[in-house]
Amino acid sequence: MIKYLTIVLIIGLYLCIHAYLNQLAQTNGEKYYNKRIAENKVTPKVYDIMHEHLPYWKNNDWLNNLIGVLTLIPLIYTNNPELYFDFASLLLIVNIIRDITINLTILPKEKECQLSDRSYLYSTALGACYDKIFSGHFAFVFLLTLLYNSYNIITNIPMIVIWNIINAVSILIIHSHYTIDIVMSFFVCMTVFNEYMKNHYTLDQVLEFL
């Protein structure tokens, strides 16, 4: 029981750090770009190829969140503790990388994004307007589908590819992320997943270590 509580405490500590770093990126981004606006300086506008060529569905964040929830359904019905552990571990590793990158270089937000449109809990958990560089929403779905395939839960590769494309497009049409965020998320997730599976630790092994 103590070992399980240790894992819960570690996760809880990380979530607090995660929330802080999400808000730090938002605070620093607002401070920098709002200062430029106040001083009548040019605010950098990012050219994004997919934003230019896809329709814009303003205020439809529910679409991307729905895709994430639907992707969770096989995970819930599988009832496999090892799968749960692998997903939590991979998501933790990827999100630590994401927490660092969103604070290293803060790209301009999409002009329609307003923090006031989102609850504080939502913005700290899932990211606010300046959480760019790579997409956590895409990583969430992509990592799950990679694990489904690895555990032989979903082996239809074309279906997995199409589902991830739908997810990527949904992120882009609501302007939640830039195209480069999707591309970088793909490569980060593939690298982390491949390295993780090569050096795979089971839940029992982790508990023994603790």
Token look-up 């019905």 returns: 77
CA angle 98, 143, 118 (to 5 degrees): 50
Could you tell me the pTM of the whole model?
0.85
- Give helix 81-104 / helix 61-78 axis angle, nearest 10°: 150
For the segment 177-204, what is each residue's pLDDT rounded down to a tens digit? 999 999 999 999 999 999 998 887 666 6
Amino acid, single-letter form, for residue 102: I
In the predicted structure, residue 117 carries a pLDDT above the cut 60:
no
Token look-up 């190829």 returns: 49
- Specify whether the CB–CB gap between 29 and 43 falls below 8 A: no
- pLDDT-derived band of residue 157, with 50, 70 and 90 as boundaries? very high
- pLDDT at position 185 is 96
- Specify whether the CB–CB gap between 95 and 126 falls below 8 A: no
Cα dihedral 10, 23, 137, 61, rounded to 10, equals 140
For the segment 130-152, what is each residue's pLDDT rounded down to a tens digit? 788 889 899 999 999 999 999 99
For the segment 3-25, what is each residue's pLDDT rounded down to a tens digit? 667 777 888 888 888 888 888 88
**Collapsed DSSP state (helix, strand, coil) of residue 96:** helix
- pLDDT at position 124 is 60
- Specify whether the CB–CB gap between 26 and 128 falls below 8 A: yes
CA angle 49, 63, 144 (to 5 degrees): 85
